[in-house]
Structure 1
Amino acid sequence: MTLRKMVTSTSWAALALLSLSPLASHPAFALQEHNVAKVVSLANDLGPVDPNQIQTLTIVLKTHNESEFDKAIEDLYDPESSSYHQWFSANDFAKYAPTSAELETVKKELVSQGFSVVSTDPQNFSLRVTGTTAKVEAAFQTQLHTFRYNGKTFQAHTRDAQLTGAAGQLVDSVAGLDRHQVHNLLSIAQNPRSGKPLFKKTVTTADAGSTLLSGINGTPLSAPALYTFTTPGASLPLSVFYGNVYSKNPAVTISYSPAQLQSHYGLTSLIKEGYDGTGQTIALVEAYGYAAAETDANVAAKAFGLPALTSSNFSVIYPEGKPLNPAAADLTGWTTEIALDIQSAHAIAPGAKILVVASSGQDNEDQIASLQYIITHKLANTVSNSWENDDEIIAGSAEENAFNSVLKVGAASGISFQFSTGDSGDLGLGTPVGAVGVPSNSPYATAVGGTSILNNTAGTGQVVTGWGNDITYLNLFGPVDPPTELGSFYAGAGGGESLYYAKPSWQKALPGTGRQLPDVSALADPFTGFALIVTSEGVQSALAGIGGTSLASPIFTAIWAIADQYNGKPLGQASPAVARLKSGQITDVLPTSPLDVSDVSGTVYDSNGPTFYSQDGLFAGLLYSQTKFVSAIWPIVPGEEDIAITFGTDSSLTVTPGWDNVTGYGEPNGLPFIQGVTGKTKGAALTK
């Protein structure tokens, strides 16, 4: 997995990376080079950060013989290498890690500048310190300001940063100089006009399960039907549309049960045989945590017939201590995210232990600390991260390198870190290569994209599309004329080509020159989503229609835990193994529309006469290169509010045969997938 930095002539890439120096011989820019993020020159400067504000920094030191280090890690993932899956020991790391003397030099410099040391990596790769803004500015010879760009407020340094003294030559990158809040990637099916969730009901613990079960349906599409929309009090306009019907019963919301998802991913027989994640730990990296997480998960587990979570298979740890405000998760939207991650991971691997690793904040540096904590304490071999820091355009080299450094050590340790790729498609850039986020863009991460799971109204079985929804109103208290006027892109899986990292060796067959995202995919469409129980602000609710790549990441992470169990030892980073899979070992998501004859089309009659709208015409201006997709009529409030909705239209990102920038190589398909990534036709012996 040899890495190198790259630049491209693409215009918006140049905008993002203009301030970076020429390519270094190693994959991280040292602090003595130009390291101010380009976004600083584009953003609105809101002024200096309070000099007395406490800052927490993670200082990453330079490694030794980095090219050899990269090659050694690459060999860990090469089945032809003698070191294949021989994960690094402390002695192995010592060959490349900074020395104790180098770490001590950096530590002494920081302490002399007034910093307090929070922790040090036992392999000497990094240390964590706290100090005031004033001390940070003096020690790193820069200034910290607050900026606002594209609706986001963040802290960034304004002059190239370099630690004072001889220690500066030992520092590779610093997390915390620039502070972006990571955001979870949760998407909820809601009424596009009102913004209200399709299904959210306050419950008591006693009735929560029955309420949840009564409010969901796992059959998204009904047989095609004819809809006529008239104008109250007038003969025109009048419209007639025909097509598949989505969520025909407004009283229920389309969501899949754990059993249905286990079946979809070919896990039912494996779980019955005992390959259910037993003996494995799934770590979920979150922000803040919330007190009712276990109670909520057990209400849902009881409703769906899953094992209960107890102190033996569920725990929460706070690497930085508990947050100062117990309501922080509620206030920032993390409560539902945490509930989703726990309950979806438990749904797929009901025998695995669930470990919530909750930071006390949600800055990039907080999450880096949690990732490092998992590695240092050997807490899990597969880790889900349903969040991203920011896109490559905004993130600077210091953030990129800090995330990549810790993930590299994780890959060498045999840990697979999964990251959601985002819920906004190409981020509105409309470029051929898409746009990717940090840190899912790291070659040492496994990037998880999204799909929609539909039923085939024209036959049997299921239809899987890439996740991407467009909506067009057909009727809003009368025919919408023309229907394309109210069309919009709702959401879709993130993906594309990195402008910061070159392709790793296991992606050499893919197009382009940059690291391609995603690697793999799982259910993410909230309109074919998941149902859960969550307590927020003291109120317990049943929620349905929950998705986003926030759902895809824990689903895949749980499947990887089952693969680790089947293998009998850790498989390490998933993405290289997924890239080697052969036909039949993974389900390739195809640009397919098997329901063509039932996709939505119709005619609007007005004073100018009839106008026919094909499926493409209904979504004119929204579609890019995706020519095959599924559409349906969605009667949100029948006769008053009716929509045409698509499945499989993801901004400028496009599903193709083989790897694509919406679904990666495809979806896991049970035993063939697990045998493909393990190379075994019979799993490790089960212990009782």
Structure 2
Amino acid sequence: MATKKKSTPHISASPRTVLPGSEKSAFVQTADEKPAPSGTRITVSVVVRRKTPLKAANRTGKQRLTHAQYKKNHGADPAAVKLVRTFAKEFGLTVAPDTPGPERRTLKLIGTIAAMQKAFGVTLVHKNHEGTTYRVREGSITLPSELVGPIEAVLGLDNRPQAQPHFRIAGEAGDITANIAQAGGFAHPHASGANTSYSPIQVAQLYQFPANATAAGQTIGIIELGGGYKTTDLTTYFKSLGQKAPKVKTVSVDGGKNSPSNANSADGEVMLDIEVAAAVAPGANIVVYFTPNTDQGFIDAIATAVHDTTNKPSVISISWGGPESSWTAQAMTALDAACQSAAALGITITVAAGDNGSTDGLTDGQNHVDFPASSPHVLACGGTKLEASGSSISSEVVWNELTNNEGATGGGVSNFFPLPSWQANSNVPAPTNSAGGRGVPDVSGDADPSTGYIIRVDGKNMVIGGTSAVAPLWAGLIAVANAQNGTSAGFIQPAIYAAKGKAAFNDITSGTNYSGSPTGFTAGPGWDACTGLGSPIGTKLITVVNPSSTSSAKSKGSKKKPIRKRAAKKSPISRGKPSRSR
């Protein structure tokens, strides 16, 4: 007699377990809350575990991997992918045709709101905030028990805004241009009367970036969660600098697009990032990854850039972020994992540390750091106030205009990420939460709008500051370093925190990043939680971050390329003394 074949138990019948770190805080309370339409179809990103975890030597860049090696050994666990596909089928979800390759460790699942709610044990509602309706989930995600572990994060059920750009426009309080530019709530005009402003080239000169060196052959990736750029603005701007306009390419992630409108948007952020990075790294290609302002979009964009084997960015600049407390633990872990992958692949990521001082703009009486700047696998960039005498720095202190409600550099101690080994001797203050310890920022640069950057946005020249300017400034410097050294700098923290790294920085020892209570942080000799190690001395920094200078970080098969130089050009903006804004 034939034996009956045992049926495989359905995943959908398994007991459910909370997905660790998926707790989502409550959104704004509104009177017009409504259930999300059950038939609406949405796409979520499911991040699965690696086939093999990255080694510590990979995460700190000591043992770099090629993209092929990474994909083979550290991409998605095939068993986890199989489980997710089975799970999706049982709950009426489909795998999107454009789901990424295994190196991304992300499966995109499509389904109705009703199916998503059942699959992930959530309730999705529509809430209106400041005229915009968002799809919101509150509380935790639950999964069949056997999927907890194989699945590390589920992103996209909730599409509330995740981050803010970190730029501020200088201008007198009554300045129409500045006020219009801030109408989107992204920044605040700087009200000081007589401000110094610089072209990005002048800032680079003050920080001793190598004269006339190029970043030819390098690609700088820029992550943008809104706004856009106009090619005509770039052409006009770089002509005024006496430079050739950069080649700028856009990549759409999760439907994000280059959407320039007017100064009433995040265009100021996009133009600041492109113009600063390209001006200080002439010859570099620029690739802008546009994505929606959600945790799903943010993480998908970084992962897309890190694994982009077509454009191959060697450095990625990020000027968006938000307080750690505004993120779910699963989202921070997933984003940090993408940054670990960048370190393993020899890609540097620079991130703005925030513009709201030690509290990061929160009013709970506590200090907070901005994420993703607090990820230990990115270069967190704080802000200074830079003053010059001729071609030399005459004064540089912590950027702090909080008493005038005009911002200050972010900085402090993470409550989520532990103290990294390379910061062990930096006297980082104790975290509020014992699980934390990572000090922010790592480095700094000019950010005060009163000593800001001359930038062209939507047909107008304006002066912009904020730590949003510092991330692309450092990205440009790293691109120049990569071109000069003939190999990518990759994860630079171990090198810059080493004893020899001190000579590559202007140590900022004056200023604080707080006003009133709570007490924040004070600058002092060496690393501090206002300006990190300090602002760069470009030529020395390039030598320090050369991985070929230490055998432990030497990249196999890399050959030093000759330094390419361009003819020196003077321009109305870059010639002579810094300009004075009226």
Structure 1 length normalisation: TM-score? 0.68
**1:420-476: CA deviation from partner (whole Å, max 9, x where unpaired):** 11111122558998311222221122211111112469x9742111111145xxxxx
Q: Distance in 2 between matches of 1:31 and 1:453?
A: 52
Q: Distance in 2 between matches of 1:668 and 1:515?
A: 21
Q: Distance in 2 between matches of 1:588 and 1:431?
A: 31
Question: Secondary structure of 1:284's partner?
Answer: strand
Q: Distance in 2 between matches of 1:93 and 1:570?
A: 20
Cα offset, 1:279, TM superposition: 1.0
1:571 is matched with which residue?
Answer: 489
Are 1:177 and 2:157 an aligned pair? yes
After superposition, the Cα gap between the structure-2 partners of 1:131 and 1:411, relative to the gap in structure 1 and judged at 3 Å, is farther
Cα offset, 1:175, TM superposition: 1.9
Are 1:508 and 2:495 an aligned pair? no
**1:121-140: CA deviation from partner (whole Å, max 9, x where unpaired):** 33262222333322221111
Q: Superposition pairs for residues 372-387 of structure 1, below 5 Å? A: 372-378=303-309, 379-387=312-320
Across the aligned residues of Structure 1 and Structure 2, the Cα RMSD in angstroms comes to 3.6
Are 1:157 and 2:137 an aligned pair? yes
Question: Secondary structure of 1:190's partner?
Answer: coil
1:263 is matched with which residue?
Answer: 205
After superposition, the Cα gap between the structure-2 partners of 1:124 and 1:341, relative to the gap in structure 1 and judged at 3 Å, is closer
Unaligned runs of 5+ in 1: 1-29, 78-82, 202-219, 221-245, 472-487, 594-620, 626-650
Are 1:188 and 2:107 an aligned pair? no
Aligned residue identity for 2:250: V
Aligned residue identity for 1:300: Y
Deviates more, 1:30-39 or 1:330-339: 30-39
1:369 is matched with which residue?
Answer: 300
Q: Distance in 2 between matches of 1:680 and 1:131?
A: 49
Q: Superposition pairs for residues 284-683 of structure 1, below 5 Å? A: 284-288=222-226, 290=228, 292=230, 294-309=231-246, 313-321=247-255, 323=257, 330=262, 333-359=265-291, 361-378=292-309, 379-388=312-321, 390-425=322-357, 426-428=359-361, 434-455=367-388, 461-471=393-403, 488-510=404-426, 511=428, 512=430, 514-535=437-458, 540-543=459-462, 545-580=463-498, 581-591=500-510, 622=515, 652-678=520-546
Aligned residue identity for 2:494: P
1:611 is matched with which residue?
Answer: none
Cα offset, 1:344, TM superposition: 0.8
Question: Secondary structure of 1:498's partner?
Answer: strand
Aligned residue identity for 1:453: L
User: Residue 104 of structure 1: which of 78, 82, 89 is its match?
Assistant: 82
Cα offset, 1:563, TM superposition: 1.2
Aligned residue identity for 2:504: Q
Cα offset, 1:196, TM superposition: 4.1
Q: Distance in 2 between matches of 1:556 and 1:460?
A: 19
How many pairs are equivalent? 516
Q: Distance in 2 between matches of 1:330 and 1:165?
A: 49
Percent identity between matched residues is 25
Asked if the contact 2:51/2:77 (under 8 Å) is kept, the reply is no
Structure 2 length normalisation: TM-score? 0.79
1:57 is matched with which residue?
Answer: 44
Cα offset, 1:156, TM superposition: 4.6
Deviates more, 1:339-348 or 1:145-154: 145-154
1:230 is matched with which residue?
Answer: none
Q: Distance in 2 between matches of 1:383 and 1:433?
A: 31
Q: Distance in 2 between matches of 1:328 and 1:307?
A: 22
Unaligned runs of 5+ in 2: 1-15, 182-189, 431-435, 550-558, 566-582
Question: Secondary structure of 2:536's partner?
Answer: coil
- Which of the pair is proportionally richer in strand? 1
Aligned residue identity for 1:125: R
After superposition, the Cα gap between the structure-2 partners of 1:440 and 1:57, relative to the gap in structure 1 and judged at 3 Å, is farther
